[in-house]
Amino acid sequence: MGMSSAYGPAADKGEMIRLIRAAYDLGVTHFDTAEAYGPFVNEELVGEALNPFRHNVTIATKFGFDIDPETGTRRGGANSRPERIKQVADAALRRLRTDTIDLFYQHRVDPGVPIEDVAGAVKELIAAGKVKHFGMSEAAVRTIRRAHAVQPVTAVQSEYSLFYRGPEAELLPALEELGVGFVPFSPLGAGFLTGAIDANTKFDPTDFRNLVPRFSPEARQANMGLVDLVRAVAKRKGATPAQVALAWLLARKPWIVPIPGTTKLRRLEENLGAVHVDLTADDLQQIDAASSNLKLQGARLPAAALSMTGL
């Protein structure tokens, strides 16, 4: 997402193609995009970058926002009408230069369309060979269960990190029961857990974090205790804060697959180094004990965005 939108101006396309291919060379085999990233341009970027080795990787993309297919303009909120889902799938296949989508997520739950109809539409796409697996993003447990009864859900994507632990209460136990994988987005807390952001950091005017309550200067200052905790663990482990934040997620469950994003090769290499950071049971217990004493401030999304999560 960050290569094309949300975190400031889009990065240079050629550089991003080289970065995606470098990720593949370093062992990355799963790539996550969406119709809404851009819109459209991120799917095109991913499709071009991965085309030489398409059959060696899996690609996830998403449907669910009401986007004009001609102009890319957002026309409103959610749109998961079955006919729209099928249109998005066909367009994504063209942009991704592929004959099948490995994982097709509903980006946000559409309150105007029964989830059974959504799951049924994806089931038809799977039967047609256009999609391999069904995913959901930012959905409530009850909604996931209803969808899963129509078409088995392979993965659920929601925000999860040391900076936001909401999924632990209900979502993770339900996914374990159902045998559904979990894909945390913003595993580095939209950059906060790297330690590179403080109360004085200035974001680009187009950066979505300018609108996020927990990224106000006051909230950043109040939440620095969490960064200090991660830094302390990183120092003890001979790692970076980003690597500790990712290693913490990897240590939670074997079916949790975080998806950190970056536009820089050095950050890509740093993130991948997380697989070599071994957090012991004692480390995890100490992190939990210390973090439980912290009172983090600020909502994780603006109110309008939170209202669309279905949570």
Q: Which domains does the chain have, with CATH numbers?
A: 1-159 (3.20.20.100), 188-311 (3.20.20.100)
What is the SS3 assignment for 169? coil
Tens digits of residue pLDDT in 217-254 = 999 999 999 999 999 999 999 999 999 999 999 999 99
How much is the pLDDT for 263? 98
Mode of pairing for the β-strands spanning 74-78 and 65-67: antiparallel
**Could you tell me the pTM of the whole model?**
0.96
Asked if 161 contacts 249 with a C-beta cutoff of 8 angstroms, the reply is yes
Percentage of the chain beyond pLDDT 90 is: 97
What is the SS3 assignment for 31? strand
Q: Report, as residue numbers or ranges, the catalytic residues.
A: 37
Whether 278 has a pLDDT exceeding 90, the answer reads yes
Whether 185 has a pLDDT exceeding 80, the answer reads yes
Task: For residue 3, give both structure tokens.
Answer: 């290569």
How much is the pLDDT for 24? 98
Percentage of the chain beyond pLDDT 70 is: 100
Backbone φ and ψ of 7, nearest 5°: -110, 30
Asked if 32 contacts 259 with a C-beta cutoff of 8 angstroms, the reply is yes
What is the SS3 assignment for 140? coil
Mean of all residue pLDDT scores within the chain:
97
The alpha helices in the chain, defined as continuous H runs, are 13-25, 41-50, 82-95, 115-127, 141-150, 171-178, 217-222, 224-237, 241-250, 265-272, 281-291, 303-306
How much is the pLDDT for 310? 84
Q: Which amino acid is at 194?
A: T
How much is the pLDDT for 273? 98
Among 58, 55, 82, 31, CA closest to 133 = 58
Whether 189 has a pLDDT exceeding 90, the answer reads yes
How much is the pLDDT for 234? 98
Whether 99 has a pLDDT exceeding 80, the answer reads yes
- Count CB neighbours of 233 within 10 A: 23
How much is the pLDDT for 75? 87
pLDDT, average across residues 267-274: 98
Among 251, 241, 276, 279, CA closest to 26 = 276
Whether 36 has a pLDDT exceeding 80, the answer reads yes
pLDDT, average across residues 84-102: 98
How much is the pLDDT for 74? 87
What is the SS3 assignment for 47? helix
pLDDT, average across residues 258-267: 98
- Count CB neighbours of 291 within 10 A: 17
How much is the pLDDT for 105? 99
Q: How many residues does the chain have?
A: 311
What is the band of 95 on the pLDDT scale with cuts at 50, 70, 90? very high
Among 59, 256, 114, CA closest to 175 = 256
Q: Which of 153-173 are b and which e, b meaning 16 or more Cβ less than 10 Å from the residue's Cβ?
A: bbbbbbbbbbbbeebeeebbe
